[in-house]
Amino acid sequence: MRFLTLAFVLTSASAFACPDLSGTYAACRSTTGSSAGSSEIVVSQSIDADGITTYVMTSTGDEAHERKTESVVVNGIPVSETDESQGFPITFTSVATCTGDESLDLNGNIKVQGQDMVTVLIQVTKANGVMTQTFTGSIMGQDVSDVQNCQ
């Protein structure tokens, strides 16, 4: 019985393993030139008693120069928000998971009045002090992709 309990604990811990993305990055730049990027990026990471990883990312956008903070809870549970301030519903849904300790995977979808407008997968990895964000998906039926390196 103890062996089964230990096996379960070890398996559960590895299922929640996420990459260490923590650090301070001077800038994130697109390798394709298709996005503006950001600067002064700070990523912190914590793991709660249940093994759930939370990332807190603070950055300044290069276009708007606004400082913003976002939290990502990696638990595989979809999070949805609906905004009706434009006079019609816009729903954003996201799910955060990890592929072992290799990548943080963010799946997102934006629906306008129930129609898919944006579907995106963002995979975030870190190697040799460089955090890489790889974006793939579609916007209004058009395929899009970009890679941003943060260092």
The residue among 150, 119, 120, 151 whose CA lies nearest residue 135 is 120
Contact 25, 43 (CB under 8 A): yes
CA distance 69 to 139: 24
Q: How many CB atoms sit inside 10 A of residue 94's CB?
A: 16
Q: Quick one: DSSP state of residue 86? A: T
pTM above 0.85, yes or no: no
Residue entry with tokens 């990027």: 37
Task: Write the single-letter amino acid at 101.
Answer: D
Question: What percentage of the chain exceeds 90 in pLDDT?
Answer: 72
Q: How many CB atoms sit inside 10 A of residue 16's CB?
A: 18
Q: How many CB atoms sit inside 10 A of residue 27's CB?
A: 16
For residue 2, pLDDT over 70 is answered with: no
Contact 151, 27 (CB under 8 A): yes
| Segment 13-68, tens digit of pLDDT | 434 589 999 999 999 888 887 777 788 899 999 999 999 999 999 988 767 678 89
Q: How many CB atoms sit inside 10 A of residue 136's CB?
A: 14
* φ/ψ (deg, to 5) at 11: -65, -45
